[in-house]
Amino acid sequence: MSELPDLLVGATGEGDVLIAAGAGGRPVVELAWRGELAPSTWQQLDQRVAQGTWAGARVALEGVNRPASFGDPRPVIQGADGAPLLLSAGGFGQPSEEGASVLARRVHELVWLDAPSRPLHLLELFAGSGTLSVLLARGPNAADAADGEASLASFVAIEQGAEAAACLRENLAARGLSGKVVVADADATPIPPRVDVVVLDPPRGGASGAAAALAASSARVVVYVSCNPATLARDLALLTASGLMITHLEAVELFPQTSHVEVIVRLARRPARAAALS
């Protein structure tokens, strides 16, 4: 991307430039700018996308409600299933595709651990563009369903961002997977009575609203993915007080040499008899 300095000639102010691989492996550029961009910047963006040098670009100017887009500015990474995974422009992506795959595969394993002999209703909150969804919507692996009983009855994903939800639908459709994608605030979504398992991967602020809804629900298993131990501890206190027990707590190192870490927690609801005896 040696052309980036030329792109910003004549600009005033400051900003951030994010570069990723997009459609066909060509670059996509996300420019968040606080200040003014020169006319030549807009002309170069248009030309590079029109000529096919870049797959797309998006410019978000401070004070402007809607970013300007050129071509298809959405990044494409390798999903946990080995197929291309489309992300929303400017959306969240893990720093390591390999690490993200390890995380997604482990979440999938924990969802189907000790699954009962009936089809499960699965709900995913804060689904994003589908990093976890493309595995969850498949149902159990062959090993999980070796007895022929474990299966998926329904899959519903909740995501507040309309662009991310659109990517999620495309990612599921590209794999021939079924599932319902709902654009809504996952932290204010009631848990339907029939839901058996809930997976949630909230932002750093955690999911206090979702935790309260889960605590009041009849969900049998909760798999919580967190990038912030402080808000995770807050939410786990509410979940465990409701009768959910922590069965697994695991860390996945996606941010080497930093204080940040991804944590996966699996909780299972205590049987009524066990709860009464405790």
167 is catalytic: no
Q: What is the CA radius of gyration of the chain?
A: 21
Q: Is the pLDDT of residue 50 over 50?
A: yes
* 119: DSSP letter: P
Residue among 136, 143, 140, 142 at smallest CA distance from 107: 136
User: How many CB atoms are closer than 10 A to CB 137?
Assistant: 24
Residue among 149, 85, 89 at smallest CA distance from 114: 149
Q: Is the pLDDT of residue 53 over 50?
A: yes
Residue among 26, 29, 101, 94 at smallest CA distance from 67: 29
* Range 89-108 average pLDDT: 82
Instruction: Count the helix, strand and coil residues of the chain and give each as a percent rounded to the nearest 5.
Output: 30, 30, 40
Q: Is the pLDDT of residue 274 over 50?
A: no
Q: Which of 100, 123, 132, 227 is catalytic?
A: 227
Q: Is the pLDDT of residue 48 over 70?
A: yes
pLDDT (tens digit per residue) in 192-205: 999 999 999 999 99
What does the alpha-carbon distance between residue 114 and residue 111 come to, in Å, rounded to a whole number? 9
Look at residue 2 in the predicted model and tell me its pLDDT: 65
Q: Is the pLDDT of residue 278 over 60?
A: no
Q: Provide the β-strand partners of residue 36.
A: 12
What does the alpha-carbon distance between residue 104 and residue 145 come to, in Å, rounded to a whole number? 19
CB 177 within 8 A of CB 134: yes
What does the alpha-carbon distance between residue 229 and residue 136 come to, in Å, rounded to a whole number? 24
Q: Give backbone dihedrals phi and psi of 102, rounded to 5 degrees, phi first.
A: -60, -45
Q: Give backbone dihedrals phi and psi of 4, rounded to 5 degrees, phi first.
A: -60, -45
**Percent of the chain having pLDDT more than 70?**
90
CATH number of the 92-277 domain: 3.40.50.150
Q: Provide the β-strand partners of residue 118.
A: none
pLDDT (tens digit per residue) in 212-231: 999 999 999 999 999 999 99
Write down the domain spans for the chain: 4-71, 92-277
- Joined together, the tokens standing for residue 61 give 């100017």
* Range 96-109 average pLDDT: 90
What does the alpha-carbon distance between residue 80 and residue 97 come to, in Å, rounded to a whole number? 8
Q: Is the pLDDT of residue 143 over 80?
A: no
- Joined together, the tokens standing for residue 3 give 């052309």
pTM: 0.89
Q: Is the pLDDT of residue 260 over 50?
A: yes
Name the average pLDDT for the chain: 90
Q: How confident is the model at residue 277 (pLDDT cuts 50, 70, 90)?
A: very low
CB 201 within 8 A of CB 132: yes
pLDDT (tens digit per residue) in 112-128: 999 988 899 999 999 99
Q: How confident is the model at residue 142 (pLDDT cuts 50, 70, 90)?
A: low
Look at residue 261 in the predicted model and tell me its pLDDT: 82
* Range 30-45 average pLDDT: 94
Look at residue 147 in the predicted model and tell me its pLDDT: 55
Q: Is the dihedral of CA 184, 132, 128, 137 positive or negative?
A: negative
CB 160 within 8 A of CB 128: no
Look at residue 138 in the predicted model and tell me its pLDDT: 96
- Joined together, the tokens standing for residue 24 give 């066909």
Q: How confident is the model at residue 276 (pLDDT cuts 50, 70, 90)?
A: very low
Q: Give backbone dihedrals phi and psi of 153, rounded to 5 degrees, phi first.
A: -85, -40
- Joined together, the tokens standing for residue 197 give 């398992």
